Structures are given as C-alpha cells and as structure tokens.
Structure 1
Amino acid sequence: MYINKDTKVVGKLIVLVPYREEHVLKYHEWMKSTELQLLTASEPLSLEEEYAMQKSWLMDENKCTFIILDKEKYEATGNEVEAMIGDTNLFFANAEDRICAEAEIMIAEEWARGRRCGWEAMLHMFIYGIDYLGVKQYVVKISYINTASVNMFRNMGFVEISRSNVFQEITFSKIVDSTWITWIKMQLGNYEVKVRPQ
C-alpha cells in the first residue's frame, strides 16, 4: 500500500517497516518452509514471482504490509534484512471503504517465537489500521492446527464467528471500540509512528 511506503512503527520489542525489494530474498527463503506454507495457507512462489508480488503490493490500495524486525537486532546491526523475523498484513475487500480488514501475522524465525513479538506487532498493526486507515472491524482466519495464533487472537478479544471444515480454518472477528483501543494502547505503552519526509 502506497500510504505506508515511508512509514516505520517503533515499539518495545519490534519495528515495523514497509515491505521493500531488499527484503524479498529472505522472505522467499522463509516461504520455502512447508510448515509456514501450511500455517499461512500459502502457495510457494518463484523468486521472480515474489519480486513481482512485492512491487504489486506496494501499489495495491487493498493491501497494507509491514515487515517485522527484531528491535534489539536491528538496533545492534542497523540492517533490516538481518533483523527480519516475520510480516503482518491487512487486506481490504474495498479500497474506498476500509471499514473491515482481514489481518494476518507470521513470525517466520523460530528463535523469535514465544517472545511476544507477534503479539506486539499485531497490536501495532491494529492501531495503525485504526488511526491511519479508518478500520472499524478486524477479521482473522486461522488454521485449525495453529493453536498459538488461535489463543493469541482470543486473548486479544476476538470472538469466533465461523469454522470451515473445507479450508480447515476458524474465522474470528473484533469490532473496534474505544475500550479496545484503550486496552491496546495500554498493552503497547510508548510507541512511535515515523513517516519519512518525501
């Protein structure tokens, strides 16, 4: 999404940066993992297709994507690629009316799992969507086998609305209200949204 192409979100554990060309090679390596393909319901792409996807997503007003960096590693190295641990996305059915967004998150690096990086990154993405894109409702679709994500979203206040035995996934929803926004901001503490000047 063009709106976030110069945006950096800095939290306690993570930093969110736009998905750029220099991230593609590492992302492509991640997506060779059959485990990640299964958990994210993704099909493997060729490297050329991955580069094309990155370019299209940059301009697509229906998709907002951030790469998740481990903040400690990023501050130590100054290298985004070395610090990459996953990604988070919002998908909109209608670019003109961004009331409802489908959210996704992936922590690809095993060493970064179980450290609440995914929790923090997802909450930052929710607040970004609310404050900058006008999102009023979030939906997530999670594989039956992804119990960590199921538990995470339930703990974030999402409620189950349906199950698909065909796709082996559960759909959860959360309506945005002032109580939830306050709760998210309490969870996050101090954070900063930086927009690089044009």
Structure 2
Amino acid sequence: MRLNEQTLLEGHKVVLVPYKKYHVPRYHEWMKSPELQQLTASEPLTMDQEYEMQKSWHLDDNKLTFIVLDKVKWQDPDISEEDSMCGDVNLFFNDADDSSVAEIEIMIAEPSCRGKGFGKEVLLLMMQYGISKLSVSKYVAKIGMENQVSIKMFTKLGFSQVSISEVFQEVTLDYSITDEVKGQLAQQTSHMITQQYAKTIGDVCHGSED
C-alpha cells in the first residue's frame, strides 16, 4: 500500500518506517530462519523473489507494511538504518464484506530485540495509525497455537479469543474499536510522532522509492 510510503512513526522504543528495497537483504536473512518460517507460516524465497514480494506489498491496496527499527540504534549516527531493523508489522484488508476490518500481524525477528516491550508498542502505534488513516473498526489476529507469548500480549492489549483451528494450529482473536477503545488508544499513543520519512536524519526523503 502506497499510503505510508513517506510516513515515519516514532515511539518511545521503536520507529516504524515503510518497507523499501534497501530493507530487503536484512529481511531475506531473517526469513531463512526455520523458527520465523514456522511462526509466520512462510516459505523461504530467493533474494529476487524477496525483491518482487517487497514491490508487490508496496503496490497492494490490501496490505500495509512498516519495518520496525530499534530506536536507540536508529538514533546512533554510526549505525545504519538496515542495522537498526528488528522486525515488521502488517495490516491486511481481506474481508470482502467489510473493508474496515484489518488483520494485524507482527514479527520481532531480531532475538536481541525480544522481551523489551517492542511488540506492545509496535501494535499500539500500528492500531492507532490504522484507525486514524484507514478507519479500521475491528482488528483480527491469527496466531500459531504454540506462540503463547504473542497470544498473551494480544490478550493483554484487549483482544478476545474468537476461535481455535486444530487444522491450521492457530488461534483467532479480535478487537472491536469502540469510541471508548479509540480514547484509550489515543491516550496510549499520545507520545507518537508522525513525520515525513527520510532514510537517515538530515538525508533527502526516500519516500518515492519502491
């Protein structure tokens, strides 16, 4: 989705930036991991296929993607943006009956970035962005049954279990966005700074890149 191609979201611990070509090599390395393949129900791709996937995601009106950066590393002028990468977060708009329903998916790929509260902040920032920019009225999350850490995190944030699929070994949760929830999310993300995306501080804007 091109909506966020020039958007950077800054939180306390993380920074969300649009998925660009120069992020692909690090992303490709992540997805060689059997653990991440299992958790994301993904098949390994070649580098060329990964570049094609990045391009298709960028152009797909039903998918919104941000790359997650470790803010401490991102702020260090000696560390590149690619070396600050720690995961990604996605919204999928695949409900044919209701375009305001979004499936939300998060991956904290770098082991050193886990257990630091990054996932929670990423979800809150992404949910607030989806509500304010895409009028999302309900979020859905599908999580592997073995991924109890993620299930617990989503539940703590207000998601409720809808169903369990023994066939796909996954749990489906959802979260309806009421006026009360909007107020809570706005308060929880009041620290979020939205700005025009540039690859590095002081660099020219890279928002026009695919």
Cα distance, 1:187–1:40 mapped onto 2, change above 3 Å: same
Amino acid at match of 2:146: I
**Contact map agreement 1:62 1:95 (CA 8 A) in 2:** no
Task: State the Cα distance separating 1:185 from its structure 2 match.
Answer: 2.9
Partner of 2:61: 61
Cα distance, 1:5–1:96 mapped onto 2, change above 3 Å: farther
**Contact map agreement 1:68 1:84 (CA 8 A) in 2:** yes
Task: State the Cα distance separating 1:105 from its structure 2 match.
Answer: 0.1
Partner of 1:135: 136
**Contact map agreement 1:86 1:107 (CA 8 A) in 2:** yes
Give the Cα–Cα distance (whole angstroms) in 2 for the partners of residues 153 and 127 of structure 1: 15
- 1:43-94 CA distance string (max 9 Å, x none): 1111111000001111110000000000010001362101000000000016
1:36 matched to 2:62? The reply is no
Superposed, 1:157-196 pairs within 5 Å as 157-195=158-196
**Cα-Cα RMSD:** 1.7
Give the Cα–Cα distance (whole angstroms) in 2 for the partners of residues 71 and 97 of structure 1: 35
Cα distance, 1:94–1:106 mapped onto 2, change above 3 Å: same
**Contact map agreement 1:4 1:18 (CA 8 A) in 2:** yes
Cα distance, 1:59–1:95 mapped onto 2, change above 3 Å: farther
Partner of 1:88: 89
Partner of 2:150: 149
Partner of 1:3: 3
Task: State the Cα distance separating 1:42 from its structure 2 match.
Answer: 1.2
Identity among equivalent positions (%) equals 46
1:24 matched to 2:21? The reply is no
Give the Cα–Cα distance (whole angstroms) in 2 for the partners of residues 10 and 157 of structure 1: 23
- Which blocks of at least 5 consecutive residues in structure 2 are unaligned? 198-204
Amino acid at match of 1:18: P
TM-score, with length taken from structure 2: 0.90
Cα distance, 1:95–1:118 mapped onto 2, change above 3 Å: same
Amino acid at match of 1:141: K
Amino acid at match of 1:144: M
Cα distance, 1:101–1:171 mapped onto 2, change above 3 Å: same
TM-score, with length taken from structure 1: 0.95
Cα distance, 1:95–1:18 mapped onto 2, change above 3 Å: farther
- Which blocks of at least 5 consecutive residues in structure 1 are unaligned? none
Which structure shows the bigger proportion of residues in helix conformation? 1
Give the Cα–Cα distance (whole angstroms) in 2 for the partners of residues 124 and 195 of structure 1: 16
Amino acid at match of 2:13: L
Task: State the Cα distance separating 1:96 from its structure 2 match.
Answer: 10
Question: 92-101 vs 46-55, which deviates more?
Answer: 92-101
Task: State the Cα distance separating 1:41 from its structure 2 match.
Answer: 1.2
Give the Cα–Cα distance (whole angstroms) in 1 for the partners of residues 183 and 81 of structure 2: 30
**Contact map agreement 1:62 1:94 (CA 8 A) in 2:** no
